[in-house]
Amino acid sequence: MFNNLISREALSIVSIFIFIMLFGIINAFRPSIIYNKDLSFRRFGIGYKNKTVVPIWLFAIILAILIYVGVIYIFEYKTGLE
């Protein structure tokens, strides 16, 4: 039980660390779907060249959820902890 408790506490720490690393790497590349040519963030919207359907805030939320679910999957199902 104690090992299971430690693993559950480690979930958030590992998830935050992975999120910061991936978010930093992606921001270092400055993808054109998120950034304008002057390196400012694109605004949310459709129909214009200077807008995007994937703003930075939506990207961050989706990335965080996917990382957390992935870490839970690895910790709980791959290691056999329940």
Cβ atoms within 10 Å of 55's Cβ, excluding its own? 17
Structural domain including 16 reads: 2-78
Rounded Cα distance, 67 and 5, in Å: 20
Count of domains for the chain: 1
Q: Please answer whether residues 43 and 55 qualify as being in contact, where contact means their C-beta atoms are separated by less than 8 angstroms.
A: yes
pLDDT at 3: 57
Q: Per-residue pLDDT tens, the chain, 82 aa: give them.
A: 445 655 677 888 999 999 999 999 999 999 988 898 898 888 888 888 888 888 999 999 999 999 999 998 888 776 665 5
Contacts 24+ apart (CB under 8 A), 23-31: 23/60, 23/63, 26/59, 26/63
- Helix, strand, or coil here: 51? strand
